Amino acid sequence: MPALPQHLRGMNVALLHESIYVLGGYVHNAAEPLDTVYRLDNNGTEWQQVANLLKPRFEANVTVFEDKIYVFGGLSAAGTPLADCECYDAVSNTWTQCADMLEPRGNVGLTIAKGQIYVLGGTKSVGGVCVQSYDPFKNVWTKISPMNVERSNTCGLYLNERILAIGGLANSKGVETIESYSPTLERWGVTKSLPIGGAYRTCCVTKAAALALTKNLAVAATNACNATTNNIKTNSGEDATLLVAVQMHRSFCAQSVLLCYDELENKWRQFGEIVTKHYGYKTVFVDNSLIFIGGYDNNLGNTSSVNKLNLETLTWEALPSLPQPVRDVNTLLHEDKIYVIGGFDDNSCDPYSNMQVYDLHTGNWKSAASTLKPRYGASVVAFDGKIYAFGGWSDCFTTMKACECYDPQTDTWTACADMYTGRGEAGITVVQDYIYVVGGSDGPELGGVERYDPRKNEWTELASLNIPRADVCALNYNNRLFAIGGLNNSCGVDIIEEYDFAQDKWVLHTALPVRAAYEIFSLSQKIVEKVESSWLHESQTQAK
């Protein structure tokens, strides 16, 4: 890459629209901070100077949100912390003043959670334990409970519904502790310690790292048409976490391709395949294993089998069977339990209302409260400790608008407001405290999209997809909403669309290499490479 136009120190770096931006800093003397901003063009051949910052600064922190660069605080010419904040629009090449922080600071930590930008710690005269959140839509700051340990240069991370402050510096010494903030409890707690105290600017989140931080397997949980990477951005490197797609089937073919997403090249590629005895199954991803639940056997009809494919060892293991044979169930991984909801009897086409729960720790199934209405092909998702089931089919010909909510604490279901349109096999995911239901079918495939507000129990209709589709995977990736793959006229769809929140429209993206319906999770790059190099030797292995 070409060298910067100046020898800079104390500057900040941001990545926007595949361009690298270098902001502020100083050359020789910190008493002379710069307001310059340089952009490396998409070809990586030349640095270009763009609009200057409104205020010279160094040791600030920056983040990208809704296609804009936000700069928070930093240090002035006198080394005094700043409260000033500003926002850059690359389209118009202009900076706009934002509301000042409640307290000036430099060397802050940043993370984005549910549409809010959290500013953690930093350098200031009274110590760096203060936390505040910024609402970019309202241009308003809110004071948050302070951390337990003073720190600047901390790494902020949003993971599994919690905000983490990882490491940092205090009195020029490294901080080893990791603190976790629960928005529900509105308090910080110390979770783990780093082996080496210090300032960590980046975090590559793998399964092992997630276990060390939270003892939780929810870094990459997936079920039918419902996946989230918890706002963790994938990156390259030996231990990178990659988005992986496994093909799901309703046809009489039980061979599934595996795809992975290369973010640097912005494309998907096939790296393996899975052969099973069943189709019409649903999958759940946990601890680097895919669990196949139920489905249909050409010889035996509906099956109660549950099989686990360990992607690290490339071996199959039979798990305890479901209490009854079933296909087209609704599955969900929530708090170390697998919930299997509904499904139908292939002989009569009658849907089930019962719910079975598999405990990953005990390895046992147990029955839980039945749904208020029998259904199969519904869309299920977890939000704020509860499980939501939307729509589905009430028989082979009739879709449902009815929605309901399950509380695991009381083992009860409660009716929610109906959707505008009855639909089954729709995609579903959570983005910034809203539940999005995407596409689906009511006989013909649907392109309609609806948004549910759990706090108000209200639905809002949004712009439709460009390509109607059922079995579409709705994905929250870094607070961006994608519709990936699916089925149209019983044929696979290779189109990916992204929802533009500002303009209420869907934009077409990179196509998939194989037209199909997919379920998406994330996986260590090491395991992807192992599957890719070994899978052909294991291709005859069948699920038990």
> pLDDT grade, residue 449 (50/70/90)?
very high
**Which DSSP string do the residues of 196-221 spell out, in sequence order?**
S-SB-------HHHHHHHHS-SGGGE
Q: Is residue 296 part of a domain?
A: yes
pLDDT beyond 50 at 222:
no
Average pLDDT over residues 29-34: 76
- pLDDT digits 0-9 by tens, 346-401: 666 788 899 999 999 999 999 999 999 999 889 999 999 999 999 999 887 789 99
> What is the structure's pLDDT at 238?
36
Strand segments, DSSP code E, in 93-139 are 94-98, 109-113, 116-120, 131-135
Q: Is residue 197 part of a domain?
A: no
Q: Provide the domain limits for residue 380.
A: 218-424+518-538
- For residue 429, count CB atoms less than 10 angstroms from its CB and return exposed for 0-12, middle for 13-18, buried for 19 or more: buried
> What is the structure's pLDDT at 255?
57
> What is the structure's pLDDT at 209?
37
Distance between CA 452 and CA 219 in Å, rounded? 24
> pLDDT grade, residue 17 (50/70/90)?
confident
Q: Cα angle vertex 485, ends 480, 491, to 5°?
A: 160
> pLDDT grade, residue 455 (50/70/90)?
very high
> What is the structure's pLDDT at 30?
61
pLDDT beyond 80 at 31:
no
Distance between CA 332 and CA 276 in Å, rounded? 21
> What is the structure's pLDDT at 216?
25
CB atoms < 10 A from the CB of 180, how many? 20
> What is the structure's pLDDT at 252?
42
> pLDDT grade, residue 470 (50/70/90)?
very high
Average per-residue pLDDT for the chain: 80
> pLDDT grade, residue 409 (50/70/90)?
very high
Q: Cα angle vertex 140, ends 34, 463, to 5°?
A: 105
CATH number of the domain enclosing 296: 2.120.10.80
Q: Is residue 140 part of a domain?
A: no
Average pLDDT over residues 178-196: 73
Q: Is residue 290 part of a domain?
A: yes
DSSP category for residue 527: H
> What is the structure's pLDDT at 373?
95
Distance between CA 366 and CA 373 in Å, rounded? 20
Q: Is residue 333 part of a domain?
A: yes
- pLDDT digits 0-9 by tens, 225-248: 222 222 222 333 334 455 666 655
pLDDT beyond 70 at 542:
no
User: Comparing 192 with 371, which gets the higher pLDDT?
Assistant: 371
> pLDDT grade, residue 212 (50/70/90)?
very low
Q: Is residue 300 part of a domain?
A: yes
Enumerate residues 6+ apart whose C-beta is below 8 A from 408.
334, 335, 337, 368, 385, 386, 387
Q: Is residue 145 part of a domain?
A: no
User: Comparing 128 with 299, which gets the higher pLDDT?
Assistant: 128
> What is the structure's pLDDT at 184?
66
- pLDDT digits 0-9 by tens, 268-289: 777 777 767 777 778 888 888 8
Q: Is residue 325 part of a domain?
A: yes
Strand order, beta sheet including 267-275: 267-275, 255-262, 241-248, 517-524
pLDDT beyond 80 at 213:
no
- pLDDT digits 0-9 by tens, 91-112: 999 999 999 999 899 889 999 9
Distance between CA 249 and CA 268 in Å, rounded? 19
- pLDDT digits 0-9 by tens, 503-528: 999 999 877 777 777 666 666 666 66
- pLDDT digits 0-9 by tens, 486-499: 888 877 888 889 99
User: Comparing 29 with 341, which gets the higher pLDDT?
Assistant: 341
DSSP category for residue 44: S
Q: How many residues does the structure list for the chain?
A: 544
- Considering the entire predicted model, what is its pTM? 0.56
Number of domains making up the chain: 1
Average pLDDT over residues 443-452: 94
pLDDT beyond 50 at 416:
yes
Instruction: Tokens for 7, please give them.
Output: 């020898």
pLDDT beyond 90 at 451:
yes
